[in-house]
Amino acid sequence: MQLGIVGLGRMGGNISRRLMRNGHHTVVYDRSEQAVQALVPDGAQGAESLADLVAKLDRPRAVWVMLPAGAPTEDTINELADLLDPDDVIIDGGNTFYKDDARRAKSLLAKQLHYVDVGTSGGVWGLDRGYCMMIGAETATFERLEPLFETLAPGVGTIPRTKGRDAEHTRAEKGYIHAGPAGAGHFVKMIHNGIEYGMMQAFAEGFDILKTKNSVQLPEEQRYDLNVGDIAEVWRRGSVVSSWLLDLTADALVSDPDLNGYSGSVSDSGEGRWTIDAAVEQAVPVPVLASSLFARFRSRQEATYGDKMLSAMRFGFGGHVEVKK
């Protein structure tokens, strides 16, 4: 099948490669000509502009936009909307806010264009492992593009089958789902990231206790000399917390058990924030997901204004003067 790809960063480039390796054909475009040329040896057809990309695709076209969420994606989609013809499809593979997907789908439909949002997990590992994809689209559009999704997905692989699943392998087992209408793909991906934040923070807090238990600030008789790398490693073997995130933690701890190589100034992306907004909108209590996000906010600051206010009140009622150690 043929696919246009706009945006050839790590993700866009690897999507092209994975499709080309498996018999599909891609026409690729990026503002950086170098990025375009890098894919040509693998068989991709380069384009010099969005218009050129559109011209090189057969109708009905499908164009995958793989750009940073927000203005870069929005502007490109608007430009494409003017270039494309009825029945063509625009796919947003980025991290777009699900309500923006719904808005766009509605507005493109007025031009008889179709919109698909693909939430992907797997990041830098996707070229080899495949991409886990959650897709929002009209059913007909989804089915038209399904050969692409099937190729990009990890496939059934060697993972033990879920108990109770014994009929033919479903899409979910192959690594992609049709989550619902436009927006539903990014909604499910957003929640995935919210959960990811929570799991990461659970590990972070637990290992913080373990590490602190070694601290010379504890009275000697309370102190251990725990090997955090070995603890992560042993938990990979049959424990309840075994997970890919634990595997990555074990990787990191082998060479740097004190994690001195990491700043601890932790970024957050839109999905983590939108997850909380969605929970608030739907009145779902999410203390863990929210705490995880707040820990990241806090990690990027020295003393907050709120902390200083605590100091000020303590001075007010108790005369306590608090000095930064």
Minimum CB distance to its own copies smaller for 59 or for 169: 169
CA distance 233 to 324: 37
Q: How far is the CB of 50 from its own copies (least distance, A)?
A: 28
- Active site includes 74? no
Minimum CB distance to its own copies smaller for 40 or for 280: 280
Minimum CB distance to its own copies smaller for 34 or for 260: 260
Q: How far is the CB of 85 from its own copies (least distance, A)?
A: 29
Cross-strand partners of 45: 27
Minimum CB distance to its own copies smaller for 73 or for 201: 201
**Binds its own copies by CB under 8 A, chosen from 192, 216, 220, 271:** 192
CA distance 116 to 2: 16
- Active site includes 196? yes
**Binds its own copies by CB under 8 A, chosen from 26, 176, 186, 271:** 176
Amino acid at 240: V
Question: What is the sign, positive or negative, of the torsion defined by CA atoms of 301, 307, 308, 311?
Answer: negative
Question: Under rule CB under 8 A, which residues in 297-316 are in contact with its own copies?
Answer: 297-300, 302-316
Q: Are strands 114-121 and 62-65 parallel, antiparallel or unpaired?
A: unpaired
Amino acid at 31: R
Q: Which of 196, 211, 213, 233 is catalytic?
A: 196
Q: How many CB atoms lie within 10 A of CB 190?
A: 26
Residues in Cβ contact with 76 at an 8 Å cutoff, skipping those fewer than 6 apart: 6, 7, 50, 65, 67
What values do phi and psi take at 65, rounded to 5? -95, 120
CA distance 1 to 145: 9
**Binds its own copies by CB under 8 A, chosen from 21, 40, 78, 224:** 224
Told to check if 134 binds its own copies by CB under 8 A, we report: yes
**Binds its own copies by CB under 8 A, chosen from 32, 43, 207, 216:** 207
Told to check if 175 binds its own copies by CB under 8 A, we report: yes
CA distance 48 to 55: 11
Question: Under rule CB under 8 A, which residues in 232-291 are in contact with its own copies?
Answer: 233-256, 259-268, 273, 275-291
Minimum CB distance to its own copies smaller for 85 or for 230: 230
Amino acid at 38: A
Told to check if 180 binds its own copies by CB under 8 A, we report: yes
Question: Under rule CB under 8 A, which residues in 5-24 are in contact with its own copies?
Answer: 10
Size of the site for its own copies (CB under 8 A): 153
Residue 105's Cα: distance from chain center in Å?
21
